[in-house]
Structure 1
């Protein structure tokens, strides 16, 4: 029996999602994508899940698209690229998406890592865009998101050369936010997510994520004005009162969960 390409494990209010094709460094397939996105959609609507951590089984995060599926790519049409959900679906998650990048993240695997809000890595973590070395282009919006993470010239370097980036460089240029000891990537990412789950308002997190997305293409005055409007909305929700009371009373807050959102759309 073929093992599920994606595994899930609940750790309190944190859902750990694991790409599970370790024999091929978790190479991406449509089946893996569908299961992964289904788990994200379910987590987004589950009031008991407040953060999601993604990682890879074995010694890699994701080596990119399964090249066997691209053997007949020359005959592909636009219809062949249509999927049940847009491939950037992870960025629509309202809850924090934390990457435990436990090994190589290449091509589409690199893109999936960039879709995470925060990334953890170890000395074993490596990145490569890979596309140019396969005769491909900068796929899945990486030409938009990568410059915003590492800057334009560094993004050009990584996309044009497709060279391998080791953990030290990845940490230095911002591909990794937290560099931890080898073997502790998942535990560190889960601990970070659990701290968020306990101490942060789910509604605040969702709004902040939407601000980061919208303000990426806004001017500063537009972002500041939008923040004023959102601040007034926040004052009217119970989260502010609970956040202040819990701080003054020196206890963990009891913030309300997010409501169910359906259908799921990108922010």
Structure 2
């Protein structure tokens, strides 16, 4: 059985961390599989949205501490600094932001360390109200890993980010929602409700529109308001005459479900 399951249901590629006996603790193998399965989902013509979640009672309990204790200083699970690469969205995990399809992370249970960081790269974060989350770094002798010190202030503000990173305290899903970190859903029926969020995007939203909006959101990290507005104006002009806009207007006027075409090739 794979440590990371892949299936497509109702146009949603579901990626499931599958080490429930270890609370989906992170390993070099999982890191490699996630990159491969994410690329698979991006290339899959049957998938219009991507949902990342965990099997069992946890999302990801952080690094597998047995592997950390036995670390030899090499490999993708190592704390040794990897070779520097260019590009904000080409880093160790930030590639998760580089895709064209919406990425929804469903935090079904405990999330710590790298298990806390991974969802930060998703477009939409959903969390079970009772789930326990912690950065944990300061309590394990580590530092704010994988760009989390850059992402968290932008998501929840500088003071809240400092609180979570410096203290390594545990918070519940309901508090994560109050901070704007994620949207909380009831524990009962969480998996089904999270899937419905992804299914709704896949069924009712234009793949082309979502891909462009994701590019706009990435650009907004470094753009001025004027630059972001200009990008919007240029992209809006490109919408005219494309099948997605025609279908978007037609299904609304005809009061029927949308039938948007597949995501067009890049270029």
Report if the CA contact (8 A) 1:106-1:128 is conserved: yes
Distance 1:50 1:166 in 2: 30
Change (3 A) 1:71 1:195: same
Secondary structure of the structure 2 residue equivalent to 1:81: coil
Coordinate RMSD, CA, aligned: 2.3
Partner of 1:252: 257
Secondary structure at the aligned position of 1:255 is classed as: coil
Shift of 1:79: 7.4
Question: Do the aligned residues in 1 keep the contact of 2:73 with 2:80 (CA within 8 Å)?
Answer: no
Q: Which structure 1 residue ranges, 4+ long, deviate > 4 Å from structure 2?
A: 72-80, 82-85
Higher relative contact order (CA 8 A, sep 6+): 1
Whether contact under 8 Å (1:45, 1:261) holds in the other structure is no
Alignment of 1:49-198 (within 5 A): 49-71=47-69, 75=73, 81=82, 86-177=92-183, 179-198=184-203
**8 A contact 1:102–1:124 mirrored in 2:** no
Structure 1: runs of 5+ lacking an equivalent: 263-267
1:225 and 2:230 matched: yes
In the superposition, the TM-score normalised over structure 1's length comes to: 0.90
In the other structure, the counterpart of 1:11 is 9
SS at the partner of 2:105? strand
Tell me: CA distance 1:52–1:136, structure 2 relative to 1, closer, same or farther (3 Å): same
In structure 1, how many angstroms separate the alpha carbons of the residues matched to 2:50 and 2:222?
26
Q: CA deviation at 1:180?
A: 2.0
* Whole-angstrom CA distance in 2 between matches of 1:221 and 1:116: 26
Tell me, in whole angstroms, the C-alpha distance in 1 between the residues paired with 2:24 and 2:234. 43
Q: Are the equivalent residues in 2 in contact too, given 1:26–1:62 (CA < 8 A)?
A: yes
How far apart are 1:123 and its partner, in Å?
Answer: 2.6
- Contact (CA 8 Å) 2:93, 2:121: kept in 1 or not? no
Matched residue count: 259
CA distance in 1, matches of 2:135, 2:248: 41
TM-score (norm 2): 0.90
